[in-house]
Structure 1
């Protein structure tokens, strides 16, 4: 049992049929994207029939967990059951496990993958993917480390752009750490102590960011926000990104006037797709230094070597 649909992605890296391992999940299709979910449903029709439990952003029902009676209950660190609920679940003979793809993924994603691999008995394939992921991250880390005098451009990343009033941003954690890894300076980390928070437009303007990156997906479509992913064409994504860049305040930012506006699928975050995020950020932040890095090639290798359900696109785009 898992409390986040994105854990299906991790399992799909480890086994040919990840859905067969799931006793229950939240049916949080928005976290996968409608098109991605449909790809899973087409290949594994039983996904739609799996028991539904509360997701990590909802109030946990111990009764739901006990009714499903899974071999193990996997929760997101910091969001799952409290100590009394853990006691009740474990008293029923169900081990409780916490993993973290959200708060500090650079620190905890590898550990979390190993935990999942051990639980399902897929250690060898899990280690193969971890080695693949580490090699791609190390290439970026080593190049940045070799440039001690590297100037770090200021980056403003707006998460779920257009979903709510401006502006959601990473702080000290989550994708903000990948901006740092890729040689950028995340302006959200200067004022947001947690993994995510909200920045005022006055602060954003005064910070003088040099690069603007929006994340979005199908979850922002109804709000008229930035959309990207396999359900949308590049033209649709670019049009919606232009709309985000034209908003009052955002339109006045220097990177917008210079065309340094980029879009990223939010569904890539909080998952083992973080290597694609790291590579794409690196090319946006330091294009000359990472001219030979090819996220499209990395995605192709992910699809052919590991994923039970291939990841479709587009998942990143430039306004220019």
Structure 2
């Protein structure tokens, strides 16, 4: 009798995880992650991971967030202010963690917040493994899910949305936004089908124009990949396999660029010393032209043919880690191949994305051509 009772007790103990409603998902790195059936308390190791959450729960993207990082206030103040207007109580009180690549993640603080999950971009996996953060979080019973919205946004944003959709039981919403992006890109791909190599213009894709010394160019991923998808040749792809590379401006003068495209955002609030193209929700056209004009006067730049020919463009920097990256491809494809892209309106598509998936309305300017 005693043995029978002991066996029953052991069976009950072994079934505790199932009774507690635990489940397993696979993150972007292929790691099996055990989660509670309902995730109500997550930490975003970067605030801009909210870009992925917004289309999943546009009515309240903070519904399951108990803390985030401090990067959005500096890197994308326009979006931060829109969120603060829409959710003032939440944005103003939400605890901040430091940047995951610059400070050690505070596991003890995460415990005081009763966090169940930390969402992290995959680029920090090795760092968090080496500095012991992953081990500490595991011992604390806090799950970690790795996604990617920046290193390879074309390949990984969709799966990352799907993973977070699974985490939050928002699978239908994840499928809706991924289908939307796929449909927009399918039109671009169809229009550019059969494009010959000699029809692809040479593009200098500058990262964060005016932020620091000139110049940093994109390699074959991220905006460098966007250029290729838009029907261009990304100059930086032949210079580096990394995300970006610093280039001496003297190396640019003799290159036969057909277009120069610089990324920009409203960085002057946090970094008043920079010269940038203040694209975003608060942008106005006069200020954007002033930004392009100032950047075109950097040492050596007036001698670049694409600048002299006013083939100098600006585009919103945050497309590089945003599900709406498709709009950047559409806009650039229109600049490079206007005859093929007739009928495709990047601004209308970006506006539709906001209407369907964003918690605030579309406004401002997200790309510009030098006049």
The TM tier, using the shorter chain, reads over 0.9
Alpha-carbon distance in structure 2 between the residues aligned to 1:150 and 1:118: 44
Q: Note if contact 1:4-1:25 (Cα within 8 Å) is conserved in structure 2.
A: yes
Q: CA, structure 1 residues 183+316, in 2 after alignment: closer, same or farther (shift >3 Å)?
A: same
Mapping 1:182-201, distance limit 5 Å: 182-201=230-249
Alpha-carbon distance in structure 1 between the residues aligned to 2:292 and 2:231: 24
Partner SS for 2:124: coil
**Aligned-CA RMSD value:** 1.7
Please give the per-residue CA displacement for 1:73-108, whole angstroms capped at 9, x wherever unaligned.
100112252253212102211111111111111111
Q: 1:150: Cα distance to partner?
A: 5.3
Mapping 1:1-320, distance limit 5 Å: 1-15=43-57, 16-30=59-73, 33-45=76-88, 46-61=90-105, 62-80=107-125, 81-82=128-129, 84-148=132-196, 151-220=199-268, 222-226=272-276, 227-320=278-371
Moved more, 261-270 or 201-210: 201-210
Gaps of 5+ in 1: none
Q: CA, structure 1 residues 21+310, in 2 after alignment: closer, same or farther (shift >3 Å)?
A: farther
Alpha-carbon distance in structure 1 between the residues aligned to 2:113 and 2:98: 12
Q: 1:267: Cα distance to partner?
A: 2.1
Alpha-carbon distance in structure 2 between the residues aligned to 1:19 and 1:272: 17
Alpha-carbon distance in structure 1 between the residues aligned to 2:116 and 2:362: 29
Q: Note if contact 2:208-2:317 (Cα within 8 Å) is conserved in structure 1.
A: yes
Please give the per-residue CA displacement for 1:22-80, whole angstroms capped at 9, x wherever unaligned.
11101223466223212111211212211111223422223333333322110011225
Q: Note if contact 1:188-1:199 (Cα within 8 Å) is conserved in structure 2.
A: no
Alpha-carbon distance in structure 2 between the residues aligned to 1:178 and 1:78: 20
Partner SS for 2:261: strand
Partner SS for 2:217: strand
Q: Note if contact 2:69-2:97 (Cα within 8 Å) is conserved in structure 1.
A: yes
Alpha-carbon distance in structure 2 between the residues aligned to 1:258 and 1:248: 17
Please give the per-residue CA displacement for 1:191-244, whole angstroms capped at 9, x wherever unaligned.
112011212213222332110111111225613312222233110011111111
Moved more, 215-224 or 283-292: 215-224
Please give the per-residue CA displacement for 1:167-189, whole angstroms capped at 9, x wherever unaligned.
01111211110101111111111
Partner SS for 2:314: strand
Gaps of 5+ in 2: 1-42
Alpha-carbon distance in structure 1 between the residues aligned to 2:73 and 2:362: 15
Moved more, 225-234 or 110-119: 225-234
Partner SS for 1:96: strand
Return the TM-score normalized by structure 2.
Answer: 0.82
Alpha-carbon distance in structure 2 between the residues aligned to 1:66 and 1:207: 54
Please give the per-residue CA displacement for 1:262-320, whole angstroms capped at 9, x wherever unaligned.
11111222111201111111111222211221011101211211111234321111112
